[in-house]
Amino acid sequence: MNGVRWNERTNFTMLTDFYELTMSKGYLDHDMAETIAYFDLFFRSVPEGGGYAVMAGLEQMIDYLKTLQFTEDDLEYLRSVQHFDERFIDYLRSFKFSCDVWAVPEGTPIFPNEPIVKVRGPVIQAQMIETMLLVTINHQSLIATKTSRIVRAARGRPVLEFGARRAQGYDASVLGARAAYIAGAAGTSCTICGQHFGIPILGTMAHSWVQMFDSEYEAFAAYARSYPDNTVLLVDTYNVLEIGVPNAIRTAKEVLEPMGHRLRGIRIDSGDLTYLSLEARALLDQAGLTDCKITVSNALDEYIIRDLLLQGAAIDSFGVGERLITSRAEPVFGGVYKLSAIEVNGQIIPKMKFSENAGKITNPCNKEVWRFYDRATGKAIADLVTQAGEEIDDQEPYEIFDPLHTWKRKTLTNFTVRRLLEPIFVSGRLIYQRQSIDDLRRYCQQELDNLWESVKRFENPQIYYVDLSQKLWDIKDTILRQHQE
């Protein structure tokens, strides 16, 4: 892994929606530039009707925030497209990020309507970063969530990320592979992702390799001689069962075994994967190649993988491409970034967005997020959003309630509680201890294991509750009532 982080390759300060800049000039014009604002990044629904999502993208968010600055070229461009006065241009020239930032650690299961990133600082700064924070967290959380579903469907069999050529752009291919690895993929075909993030890279041959030789056997034999320690042969260029698998067996017997090596595996990329894998397994076993693994690919997702295994397919690992790297079934995560409070003369004033749709009414105040775990099982029970400064005593019973259906209440006992939002920046200074990608991957698996299986169902999962504390709900209810008067 080299020393250049992916987001440090480019200055992304100008990756912002233009209205962030027009609003910023307005704040400066009206002496509001230094007003302290609180913003929450959260999402409203889990993709594909799932029961949970997976947080990802924090590392790239950190790199972005560390490198915020406007260059003279940036400023000259802004002069050319809008009549920004020199006072605002000078403000941008001296722009220095000084906000406080909190975030949920990467790999954490997350749920709708709870802050997963919180920003506090001068309103221009806090507003300016909205676009990049959203594109970063939305994309990687989307791919991590999809990968987690696919990995679960595979029931412990390795899932290999093969989607680089299908991603919507090279950043999406690299950072999508990163998110997939955190969420449980065994490795990636994307070489540069391995170079930058230390992720295992995987891959053997394409159909073109086989076609380059006069016969399939010659292609297999040549590959085996080049890579005797890791020979995996693609057997569906012509006919899987008639010549593909027999040629793979012949290669094992005539080339690899005389060299003291074993055939590591075969890959099937087309056809009826259940039937072909079962027949191929029988042929391999009959030839004494019981240790030869079978990998399949070809437009797979969690539903196809689940069905293949329910049908008894003899598959050892899965190569998953376009439906993972694009989250094809629902390619939008839907995170939003909303103002929740401002500070005036040291007093925090709650702010809310109203809507005719109850689900789009935002939660006010400077907030904390807590996760309750059952002390006996270790399973997560519910999350709670509180006003900052509230404390929860896990030695005392605690009543939670549904903020939309307040009569639904439950008193929790015998629980432990954890604060989810961790400090990342203080006054613009990074204080977060970065984690290795393998540590993030292990942490993600541990936290997913702490969810009940019913929450992880693909269809009609059990609803995991994200509730408001009584104090926060009272503030929200009071503001709603005042708005109606």
- SS3 label, residue 39: strand
pLDDT at 485: 63
Range of the domain at 79: 6-143+331-484
Residue 63: name the closest of 5, 133, 3, 142 by CA: 5
Residue 270: name the closest of 306, 247, 244 by CA: 244
Residue 13 lies in a domain: yes
CB atoms within 10 A of CB 89: 16
Q: Do residues 224 and 282 share a domain? A: yes
CA distance 125 to 423: 18
CA distance 85 to 91: 10
CATH number at residue 273: 3.20.20.70
Q: Do residues 292 and 365 share a domain? A: no
Residue 70 lies in a domain: yes
Q: Do residues 428 and 356 share a domain? A: yes
Residue 465 lies in a domain: yes
The pair of structure tokens assigned to 72 is: 């003279």
The pair of structure tokens assigned to 452 is: 């009940």
Residue 160 lies in a domain: no
Q: Do residues 353 and 480 share a domain? A: yes
pLDDT at 5: 66
Residue 119: name the closest of 96, 97, 99 by CA: 99
Measured CA to CA in angstroms, residue 445 lies from 46, 116, 268, 280 at distances of: 19, 19, 29, 32
Return the residue matching tokens 């030789």. Answer: 213
Name the amino acid, one letter, at 269.
D
CA distance 91 to 97: 12
Q: Do residues 336 and 471 share a domain? A: yes
pLDDT at 1: 44
Q: Do residues 260 and 121 share a domain? A: no
Residue 178 lies in a domain: no
Residue 379: name the closest of 419, 420, 421, 414 by CA: 414
First and final C-alpha spacing in the chain: 60
CB atoms within 10 A of CB 154: 22
Residue 69: name the closest of 152, 128, 29 by CA: 128
Number of domains, the chain? 2
Q: Do residues 359 and 479 share a domain? A: yes
Q: Do residues 395 and 452 share a domain? A: yes
CB atoms within 10 A of CB 418: 13
pTM reported for the whole predicted model: 0.96
CATH number at residue 45: 3.20.140.10
pLDDT at 134: 98
pLDDT tens, the chain, 485 aa long = 445 566 666 789 999 999 999 999 999 999 999 999 999 999 999 999 999 999 999 999 999 999 999 999 999 999 998 889 999 999 999 999 999 999 999 999 999 999 999 999 999 999 999 999 999 999 999 999 999 999 999 999 999 999 999 999 999 999 999 999 999 999 999 999 999 999 999 999 999 999 999 999 999 999 999 999 999 999 999 999 999 999 999 999 999 999 999 999 999 999 999 999 999 999 999 999 999 999 999 999 999 999 999 999 999 999 999 999 999 999 999 999 999 999 999 899 999 999 877 778 999 999 999 999 999 999 999 999 999 999 999 999 999 999 888 999 999 999 999 999 999 999 999 999 999 999 999 999 999 999 999 999 999 999 999 999 999 999 999 999 987 76
- Farthest-apart Cα atoms in the chain, separation: 87
Q: Do residues 226 and 342 share a domain? A: no
CA distance 62 to 352: 27
Q: Please give the DSSP secondary-structure letter assigned to residue 373.
A: E
Residue 69 lies in a domain: yes
The pair of structure tokens assigned to 22 is: 């027009």
The C-alpha torsion from 121 through 123 and 128 to 129, rounded to 10°, is 30
pLDDT at 6: 62
Q: Do residues 302 and 356 share a domain? A: no
Burial grade of 110 (CB within 10 A; 0-12, 13-18, 19 or more): buried
Residue 96: name the closest of 6, 13, 192 by CA: 13
CA distance 318 to 331: 21
Residue 382 lies in a domain: yes
> Which contiguous run of DSSP H or E holds residue 54?
strand 53-54
Q: Do residues 307 and 377 share a domain? A: no
Q: Do residues 311 and 356 share a domain? A: no
Are the C-beta atoms of residues 172 and 136 closer than 8 Å to each other? no
End position of a domain, from candidates 280, 315, 350: 315
The pair of structure tokens assigned to 404 is: 């939309």
Handedness of CA 392, 395, 399, 400 (dihedral sign): positive
